[in-house]
Amino acid sequence: MIRWFIVAGAALLSAWLCRRFIDPASRFHVLDHPDHRSLHQQAMPRSGGVAILVALLAGWWLGVAGNAVPLLQVIIWMSGGAAVLGILGVWDDLYDLSPWKRLPVQVLVALLMILAGFSLHYLRLPGLQWPLPSVLGPVFSFLLFLWMTNLYNFMDGMDGFAGGMTVIGFGTLALLGQLAGDGSYTFLALVVAGAAAGFLRFNFPPARIFMGDAGAPVLGFLAAGFLVWADREGLFPLWIGLLVFAPFVVDATYTLVRRLLRGEPVWKPHCGHLYQKLVRSGWSHRRTVLWAYLLMLACALSALVALDAPVAVQWGVLSGWAILFLLLIPAIERKVGNRA
């Protein structure tokens, strides 16, 4: 029972802090001023990520103090990495650091997580399992941490988008952990979802506060940590977790590859993501994010269905989503092109 009180407390603390940061008198009332890439038209506080980070760390360590979760080593490494990235994000929000100044810190955090044991040992697909070479496992895990950290940041550009993905994504991870019988995994994921839900109260369209760089990279880092942790402990394979976050993974990866093929500098900010194009084509933030939630929920539900399904069904789920995304992406591009 204490775990549920902590989860609810994390949500309430996050919401309370967001309300405080919206106040111009707050020390954390740091404004995001719109530019040519922005989907918003007026300056908005972007310190919601601080509220999420404080709430989830408070919830995790309160769980340790109340003997609600025994995984002290996991919490030390996960909360330490989140705190470092959160501080970096606050600094970035204040002084607009270049990607080349942020990257070394992200690399260091990812390397420390690998050294702490957050590394994949097998490559698992439905009905298949291959041991990863001693070098390839850590390298792949390192790249996963880096990609998810930045991927989340890329996708945090619309009211309610990253917050909704966090609530749905980490809520699903919690359920997957419960189905695997790991109460600690479930609790820690639920605290993240609860902290994001408190933020979403003020970020759902029309947003009153943004997540900022103190939030999105932290949540991407935590998503990678939870996925590697689950695969390493045999709770569920990595592909199940990636399917849960597929709406973010597919959009960000497609956009990155597209920009690389066009010879565009991928480290520079842009407005080429599919969700950005939909809004710029005339869709409202609310309409776009509600359709995105539907897609997120469908991915989450299919991951739950596929978890213990026969191998043929698992491959069917993966194939079905691959086909759907291959149809959906050009459909969005055509729609945007027709509105241009």
Backbone φ and ψ for 25, nearest 5 degrees, come out as -80, -10
Mean pLDDT throughout 154-182? 95
Encode 232-268: b = buried (16+ Cβ within 10 Å), e = exposed: beebbbbbbbbbbbbbbbbbbebbbeebeeeeeebee
Task: Provide the whole-model pTM.
Answer: 0.94
Domain that holds residue 312: 2-339
pLDDT bracket for residue 340 (50, 70, 90): very low
Query: Based on the structure, what is the number of domains in the chain?
Result: 1
pLDDT tens digits along 23-32: 988 887 777 6
| pLDDT over 50 at 313, yes or no | yes
Q: Which of 176-180, 247-251, 313-317, 328-332 has the lowest mean pLDDT?
A: 328-332
Share of the chain above pLDDT 70, in %: 96
d(CA 69, CA 61): 9
**What DSSP character marks residue 39?**
S
State residue 85's pLDDT score: 97
Q: Which two tokens stand for residue 172?
A: 């699903």
What distances in angstroms separate CA 298 from CA 93, 217, 251, 305, 320, one per listed residue? 33, 24, 16, 10, 12
State residue 335's pLDDT score: 76
pLDDT tens digits along 213-224: 999 999 999 999
State residue 187's pLDDT score: 95
State residue 89's pLDDT score: 94
Q: Which of 66-75, 193-202, 252-261, 297-306 has the lowest mean pLDDT?
A: 66-75
d(CA 198, CA 179): 25
Mean pLDDT throughout 266-293? 87
Q: Provide the CA 109 distance to its chain's centre, in angstroms.
A: 17
